[in-house]
């Protein structure tokens, strides 16, 4: 099976430009997450791939097969694209049993009755719901409905399966289980998948690659590790993980390093480009990188403990100095008063 590729896609809904030139590739057998805040265009992009929204420029291809190409005037209707789509609401047909919901795609492809039976049974067995084939959707729990929706999209073996917020309708506990199950199923079947989510933890857990969308353009693309440990923009840095922000002035830069002046103190960090010395700059650091009690090399600030919260497996503390607020994790409750807060230079990104 060939790759799904999207080239320079533009789409507008009413007067709103939703997609402003999105390009990406989904290699065969990989799970790609489309991540972004609400309004970033991720669901619209997914629907455009499925053929449910019409872009006004760009192209969508699976290998050499053109699904959409504005220049050549090609626009395959949704039913001829042969993709699988799992809806956020699952969209199981309420007037059909589980069996009939799953079988419909095969029936439309003219598969014989006997073969439909075996293939549906196999698909339902795969998702562990073989015994519920005769039920109607409303007789299933949310998690079961989600699995049926997945089986319905998988049963006719589409080259790419599209998932729209597949886990968002499940409650928190079930979501973590379903996440692991889904990842396992997709990888064991060797599927290519494009999965929309607004939850960065979900994206990192599910996907081989993450595409971070912001305002209709791709902000950054890479493996989960790349996105988490080497964000290329302030937006990417802020969107992934839990962070603290240090606002100040850029003091110097050079050799991949930069210095930022915060609350009268100079802090060293990794230069992430942008501002010239003297201009406003922002330092971003992951919460887990902040060192309470000071860092090696003394890259830090003396700050006052404002409050602390017990989170179960650890404590989260909030420190202030002037207008700057920094959050950090601690393993034990901290004493009132001032603390040395260290920012390891390799973990502090200066934008």
Partner 1 sequence: MRFGWYRFLVIAVAAVAVLAPLVLVFYQSFLDAPFFQPVTHFSLEAYSFILGESDFWDAFVTTLLIGAGMTAIAVPLGAILAFLIVRTDLPGRGWLEPVILVPIFVSAIVLAFGYVVALGPVGIFSIMVKSWIGFVPWNIYSLVSIAVVAGLMHVPHVYLYTAAALRGLGTDLEEAARVIGANPWRVAIHVSLPMVMPAILFAAVLVFFLGFELFGIPLVLGDPQGILVLSTYLYKLTNLLGVPSYQLMAVVVVAIVVVTLPLIYLQRRLLRQSQRYVSMRGKGQRAAPLRLGRWRWPAFVFIALWFLVTVVLPLAGITLRSFVVTWGEGVKLADVLTLDHYRALLNFPNIERGILNTLAIGTIGGAFAVVGYTLVALAIHRWNSGWVRFVDYIVMLPRAMPGIVAGLALLWVFLFFKPISPLRSTLVSLWLAYTIVWFAYGMRLISGTLLQVAPELEEAARTVGASEARVMRDVSVPLIRYGMIASWLLIFLIFVREYSTGIYLLGPGTEVIGSLLVSLWGTGDVDLVSALSVINVAMIGIGLAIAVRLGVRLHA
Type and span of the H or E element at 200: helix 200-206
CB count, 10 Å around CB of 114?
8
Min. distance of Cβ 84 from partner 1 in angstroms? 7
CB atoms within 10 A of CB 122: 12
Q: Which residues bind partner 1 (CB under 8 A)?
A: 50-52, 77-85, 87-89, 91-95, 104-105, 108-109, 152-153, 156, 162
Q: Is 108 or 122 the residue whose CB approaches partner 1 more closely? A: 108
Q: Of 89 and 302, which CB lies nearer to partner 1 in the complex structure?
A: 89
Q: Are 192 and 160 in contact (CB under 8 A)?
A: yes
Helical spans, DSSP H, in 34-112: 42-50, 78-81, 98-108
The residue (of 95 and 331) whose beta carbon lies closer to partner 1 is: 95
Cα 57 from Cα 73, distance rounded (Å): 10
What CA–CA distance (Å, rounded) separates 79 from 27? 23
Q: How far is the CB of 208 from partner 1 (least distance, A)?
A: 23
Quick one: 163 or 237, whose CB is closer to partner 1?
A: 163
Minimum distance of partner 1 from residue 88's CB (angstroms): 8
Give the nearer residue to partner 1 in terms of CB position, either 26 or 210: 26
Residue among 38, 37, 136, 46 nearest 87 (CA): 46
Q: Rank residues 153 and 326 by Cβ distance to partner 1 and give the closer one.
A: 153
Place of tokens 């626009």: 75
* Nearer to partner 1 among residue 94 and residue 337 (C-beta): 94
> Considering the complex, what minimum distance in angstroms separates the CB of residue 341 from partner 1?
45
Compute the least distance from the CB of residue 322 to partner 1, in Å: 41
In the Cβ-directed half-sphere of 95, how many Cα atoms lie within 13 Å?
0
Taking the complex as a whole, how short is the minimal distance between the CB of residue 195 and partner 1, in angstroms? 15
Report the C-alpha gap between 154 and 169 in whole angstroms.
20
Least distance to partner 1, CB of residue 89, Å: 5
CA angle 140/92/201 to nearest 5° reads: 80
């Amino acid at each position: 099976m060939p790759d799904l590729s999207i080239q320079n896609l533009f789409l507008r809904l009413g007067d709103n430009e939703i997609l402003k030139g999105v390009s990406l590739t989904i290699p065969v057998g990989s799970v790609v997450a489309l991540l972004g805040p609400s309004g970033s265009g991720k669901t619209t992009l997914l629907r455009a791939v499925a053929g449910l929204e019409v872009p006004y420029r760009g192209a969508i291809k699976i290998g050499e097969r053109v699904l959409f190409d504005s220049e050549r005037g090609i626009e395959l209707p949704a039913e001829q694209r042969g993709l699988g789509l799992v809806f956020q609401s699952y969209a199981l047909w309420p007037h059909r049993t589980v069996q009939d919901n799953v079988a419909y795609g095969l029936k439309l492809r003219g598969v014989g009755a006997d073969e439909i039976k075996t293939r549906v049974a196999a698909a339902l067995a795969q998702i562990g719901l073989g015994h519920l084939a005769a039920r109607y959707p409303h007789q299933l729990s949310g998690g079961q409905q989600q699995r049926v929706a997945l089986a319905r999209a998988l049963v006719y073996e589409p080259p790419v399966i599209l998932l729209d917020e597949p886990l968002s309708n499940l409650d928190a506990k079930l979501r973590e289980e379903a996440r692991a199950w889904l990842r396992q199923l997709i990888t064991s079947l060797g599927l290519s998948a494009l999965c929309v989510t607004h939850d960065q933890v979900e994206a990192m857990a599910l996907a081989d690659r993450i595409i971070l969308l912001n305002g209709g353009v791709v902000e950054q693309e890479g493996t989960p590790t790349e996105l988490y440990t080497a964000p290329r923009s302030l937006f990417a840095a802020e969107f992934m993980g839990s962070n603290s922000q240090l606002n100040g002035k850029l003091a110097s830069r050079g050799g991949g390093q930069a210095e930022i002046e915060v609350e009268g103190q100079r802090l060293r960090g990794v230069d992430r480009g942008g501002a010239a010395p003297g201009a406003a700059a922002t330092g971003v650091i992951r919460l887990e990188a902040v060192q309470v009690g000071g860092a090696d090399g003394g890259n830090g600030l003396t700050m006052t403990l404002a409050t602390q919260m017990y989170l179960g497996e650890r404590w989260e503390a909030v420190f202030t100095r002037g207008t700057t607020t920094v959050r950090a994790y601690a393993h034990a409750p901290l004493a009132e008063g001032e603390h040395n807060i260290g920012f390891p230079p390799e973990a502090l990104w200066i934008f």
